[in-house]
Amino acid sequence: MPRYDAIVVGAGHAGLACAAELGGRKVLLLEGRESVVQKARGCLGLGLPVGARLEARGDELVLPEHHLAVPGGVRGLIHRLELRGHRERAFLPLETPRVVVDERRLKGAWLRRLEASGIEVQLGNPVRELQTDGREARVRADVEHQARVVVGADGVHGPVAQHVNPRREKLGVLFQREVEVDRLEVGRGTLMLHLLEAGRWFLAMGFEDRCLASVVELLGPHGVPGDLDRLLADRIERLGGRRRLATRAAVVRLLAPAQHAYRANVLAAGDGLATFGFASLTGALAGGHLAGRAAGRFLAGSSFALPDYQQRWRQATGQGRLERLRWLAPLVGRLDPDRLDRLLRLARRERSQDLHPWAAAVPRWLTGLLLEPRA
């Protein structure tokens, strides 16, 4: 049976950042998909951007905490938010631009770092089972592997996440359709959020070479989505979109916040701990960074490494505060385009489409949920 110091399950952003923290040890990174860099599902960066910082220097993406620079890693910068209801719209200039990341280039940079540090990466090898006695953990994929510690970044429904947090209440489901097109009539550096009806949003933003459009529908635990493909095609046509370059979809099950970050010698990171099922790119990077450092300290013999990881994770994500935000769900569910129109009329400057400073707090907070932090 192959034996390692650590096994990392999942090669998303959290798994890659975690494995990079364990360089110099005998580490195995297992990923169920055949490709890490190929984007398989839609995502506009939904999630809470906490714990990591991104910087844009021209088209170079810099992650200071990780000492990583990615040439061409910046797809663009968002300078303002456009909110639309049925008839009204308002603009919110952002004090600090938000970075839109080229995930393919970022993951490629992570893989090159892992390869240089001697970490073994196995793609197309999904994990099926996990067992541990607290001293050694066994992970069964194509063959059974053994390690002193296992870190999971395998999503909220992966075997590691289920091992650490076996029962989490399902709060709802988010359905998404995403399309890349050659052009859209959206201002450069603008993220458009158009409320179509209660629980259903259209989002669009433009880059130098292509534009991104998406429809998101948020429903209850047993909700059934509408015809999102038709709705998305209609919105794209209205904005002058023509040639489709890529199409993706995502279904996100929204779960109650996780209570535990580890169990015995098994740690969870990234989507496995995502609040309400969401983990942003920066949240995933922060979670992977914390989990990798905790696993390294555990391997070095620290008996406080894992309890400290639990505490640091709650602090980094503001988990205690987020657990109290569930009361917002009924209010968000009642927001429809007519109500948004009334709010926008009240919040706009006189004879202007810009929001008053006092009215900008909520959309600025909303932008923080949708996009990565400062450039």
Phi and psi at 234, nearest 5°, equal -65, -45
Is 337 found in the same domain as 199? yes
Q: Are residues 265 and 213 in the same domain?
A: no
Same domain, 36 and 91: no
The strands making up 170-181's β-sheet, listed across from edge to edge, are 89-101, 74-84, 190-197, 200-206, 211-219, 170-181, 244-255
> Domains in the chain: how many in total?
2
Place of tokens 């959290």: 14
Are residues 155 and 189 part of one domain?
no
Confirm whether 160 is domain-assigned: yes
**Chain length of the chain:** 375
Beta bridge partners of 56: 61
Residues 236 and 159 in one domain: no
Task: Tell me whether residue 72 is in a domain.
Answer: no
Please check whether residue 73 lies inside any domain of the structure. no
Predicted confidence at residue 49, as pLDDT, reads 41
Residue 237's CB is within 10 A of a number of other CB atoms, namely 10
CA neighbor of 371 nearest in space, from 103, 117, 100 = 100
The mean of the pLDDT values for the chain is 82
Which CATH number belongs to the domain containing residue 132 in this structure? 3.50.50.60
pLDDT of residue 365 exceeding 90: no
Mark whether 111 and 226 lie in a shared domain: no
In this prediction, residues 289-310 reach a mean pLDDT of 93
246 and 273 both lie in a single domain: no
Position 277 pLDDT exceeds 80: no
262 and 320 part of one domain: yes
What are the pLDDT digits (tens) for 54-99?
888 888 999 888 889 999 988 888 888 888 988 888 888 877 788 8
Task: Report the alpha-carbon distance of residue 16 to residue 283 in Å, rounded.
Answer: 13
pLDDT band at 318 (very low <50, low <70, confident <90, very high): low
Residue 266 lies in a domain: yes
375 is a domain residue: no
Section 147-176 average pLDDT: 88
- State the Cα–Cα distance between residues 77 and 79, nearest whole angstrom: 6
Whole-number pLDDT of residue 70: 93
Top-confidence residue, 334 or 159: 159
Residue 317 has pLDDT above 80, yes or no: no
Same domain (yes/no): 174, 301 = no
Looking at the fold, whether 187 and 292 belong to one and the same domain comes out as: no
In a domain, 157, yes or no: yes
Residues of the domain holding 183: 78-96+170-253+326-370
